[in-house]
Chain A
Amino acid sequence: MREVSLAIVGGGPAGLSAAISARESGLGGTPPAGGIVIIERGRALGGILNQCIHNGFGLHIFKEELTGPEYAHRLVEACVRLGIEYKLNTMVTDLGTDTDGAKTLTLFSREGAERIRAKAVILAMGCRERPRGALRIPGSRCAGIYTAGLAQELVNMKGLMPGKTVVVLGSGDIGLIMARRMTLEGAEVKGVYELMPYSGGLKRNIAQCLNDYGIPLKLSHTVTRIEGQEFGRGESSDGCGRLRGVWTAAVDASGAPLYATEEFTACDTLLLSVGLIPENELSKRIGVRLSEVTGGPLVDDSLQTSVPGVFACGNVLHVHDLADNVTLEAYRAGESAARCIRGGAGAFGVTGGVRRIGLRAGRGVRYVVPNEIILPAGPKPSAGPDAEPGAEYTAYFRSDNVYRDVYIRVRLAPEGSCSDSEGAVIKSVSKRIVTPGEMETLKFSLETGKAATLEVRIEAKG
């Protein structure tokens, strides 16, 4: 069986960036023995960025505003320059652990099946879109209902228009981007309906994708029914079984439709932009523990999952709004994997000799990444600080609502207490606004030896 040092599953921005940083952290070796290999099921590297043809990527990493394909191109070029091996049209179908702790990957391609062994694995499979089935909208099972990402692929990659009159359900970024894209391609976009009282998309996209084109955004609204002709039962000679329109209504504070406000909007296309789900079937195969909130793996601050030697980054870990953040996170995963491989088995993830500090979501916070901080092993003065002085950690999190004029804080949470207790404040930053649509980061350092669990919270001022 072929052996590599690092196998990366997925060749999107996360996988590519992780490969670059693993190589730059000194992980060498040339294929077929040793080395890094990226395995991508698609026909090109770049992942979802290939279809995100709009601009707005790379401001942080490249200090330039790039389109998705250009951003991907930069990463691919760097991988090629660094001599990183990649396999296209190859799907990883299984992931396991050998008796000696090495990971085994089962690959499928046109050439057939193959198994390889790797010292470490980085999960970078991205996410997929929440489909209609997950929403349970009643009504006809007609044609003309697409996830926004599928419509994006059809228009941008295949040159096919999904329809002429469009309603978008959900104000996620992909839906907003597609509202503009379809408008420019000649479709009439009647409106974007969002269940929540705030948009899940970036402000910039609301301004430049909706307001620029006069497309209304209806907050606290939802689609209540879908009306179309059933397949095979349509009376029309043309678009048999096509969507005819949708019923929409305002919702109350609990999200329940107010049926008195129901209205019919004629359209032949409904785009769903109602969230992304991390793609973790493989992670489950190897026994990685997943978060119930994000659906992504639980990780420590090195981005190692509950299975030693398996790391995760990008949208497979939690949904990112900006590819730049994906790259930054993936750099860390690549570095950690290289360190893990260099240090031999057990440099990370072993329970002996290290202390783990939990990091959890407190009041106002939907989830936090990472879930654990590993303090360096080795002898430490009994009264002294646990961590190296000044060692800095970053909490990435999303709020559960829109909050104005608040502090975002990391606090000590004494072990075993309920999450409402007040531990000492480790870090506090004042924010004018925190919204679920934009990921927050909070850097803090740990100087105290007392911590068992930390909590990220959003607290009102005064």
Chain B
Amino acid sequence: METSLGSSTQTAGQEQTASQEPRREHRFICIGCPMGCELLVVTEVSEEGGPPSAVSGNACKIGERYGREEATNPTRVMTSSVRVLGGDMKMLSVKTARPIPKGKIWDCAEAMRGLSVNAPVKIGDIIIKNAASTGVDIIATRNIARGSA
């Protein structure tokens, strides 16, 4: 079995001519437990805006929720590290303070490239405000004192 079951951004986008509604199928592996159920999520963008979705392949409720979220609004906490000047460590580990839309991960990574901060840094300090216009800050995940690395 090859688990290159497609990056979950890839969708087998099938237009349903019968209903006129854009109907899309998404396939994910549920991460809720080691079962790793293979989920099929069908989303239909309705007139009212909200995309109702049907999840199948899940063996329990967790999979249903995960499948729906992944299909409609997948989010991730992104972590990275940036250079520190004048600190007792070379690199500062950072994260997005909240999960960001999956599609914004690259923009956030780009925003951090080449960035450096000055010591001292305290855990929770804001490193980038409103990173890549996500409305989410990038914050420090450790303390760094002044010193030489």
Which residues does A use to contact B, with CB under 8 Å?
50, 53-55, 65, 67-70, 72-73, 155-159, 184-185, 197, 199, 203-204, 206-208, 210-219, 432-435, 437-438
Contacts and interface: CB of A to CB of B under 8 A. Distances in A.
A147 B85 CA distance: 28
B90 A207 contact: no
A184 B29 CA distance: 22
Q: Which 8 A-B pairs have the closest CB atoms?
A: A214-B7, A53-B93, A216-B4, A69-B142, A204-B31, A217-B3, A67-B141, A55-B77
A70 B91 contact: no
Contacts of A435: 34
B6 interface: yes
Nearest to B78: A184
Contacts of A216: 2, 4
A208 B76 contact: yes
B18 interface: no
A55 B4 contact: no
14 contacts: A50-B142, A53-B79, A53-B80, A53-B81, A53-B141, A67-B95, A67-B141, A158-B90, A158-B91, A203-B31, A206-B36, A208-B76, A432-B35, A438-B34
A55 B80 CA distance: 10
A433 B35 contact: yes
Given A67-B141, A159-B83, A184-B105, A207 B29 contact: yes
A73 B89 CA distance: 15
B102 interface: yes
B61 to A, nearest CB: 14
Interface string B4-33: 111111100000000000000000111101
Contact of B1 (A69, A197, A203): A197
B142 to A, nearest CB: 4
Contacts of B1: 197, 219
Most buried by A among B59, B80, B142: B142
A208 B95 CA distance: 16
B36 A203 contact: yes
Contact of A213 (B7, B29, B91, B95): B7
B93 to A, nearest CB: 4
B117 interface: no
Contact of A70 (B33, B59, B142): B142
Contacts of A211: 3-8, 28-29
B123 interface: yes
B93 A69 contact: yes
Given A69-B93, A69-B142, A207-B28, A156 B5 contact: no
A70 B123 contact: yes
Interface in B90-114: 90-91, 93-95, 102, 105, 109
B8 A65 contact: no
Contacts of B95: 53, 55, 67
B72 to A, nearest CB: 16
Contacts of A158: 90-91
A203 to B, nearest CB: 5
Contacts of A159: 81, 83, 90-91
B31 A208 contact: yes
Nearest to A191: B4
A206 B81 contact: no
A5 to B, nearest CB: 30
Contact of A73 (B28, B77, B123): B123
B56 interface: no
Nearest to B59: A432
Chain A CB within 10 Å, residue with most, of B30, B34, B105: B34
Contact of B2 (A68, A185, A203, A217): A217
Nearest to B140: A69
B134 interface: no
Given A70-B123, A211-B6, A219-B1, A157 B34 contact: no
Given A184-B109, A207-B31, A156 B102 contact: no
Contacts of A199: 3
A158 B92 CA distance: 10
Contacts of A208: 31, 76
Contacts of A207: 8, 28-29, 31
Contact of A157 (B4, B90, B109, B123): B90
Contacts of B105: 184, 212
Contacts of A432: 35, 59
Given A211-B5, A211-B29, 13 more contacts: A67-B141, A70-B141, A70-B142, A156-B81, A157-B81, A185-B109, A206-B29, A207-B8, A212-B8, A216-B4, A219-B2, A432-B35, A435-B34
A67 B34 contact: no
Contacts of B91: 156-159
Contacts of B141: 53, 67, 69-70, 73
B11 to A, nearest CB: 13
Most buried by B among A53, A68, A72, A438: A53
A212 B102 contact: yes
A253 B7 CA distance: 28
A29 B142 CA distance: 31
Contacts of B109: 184-185
Nearest to A440: B34
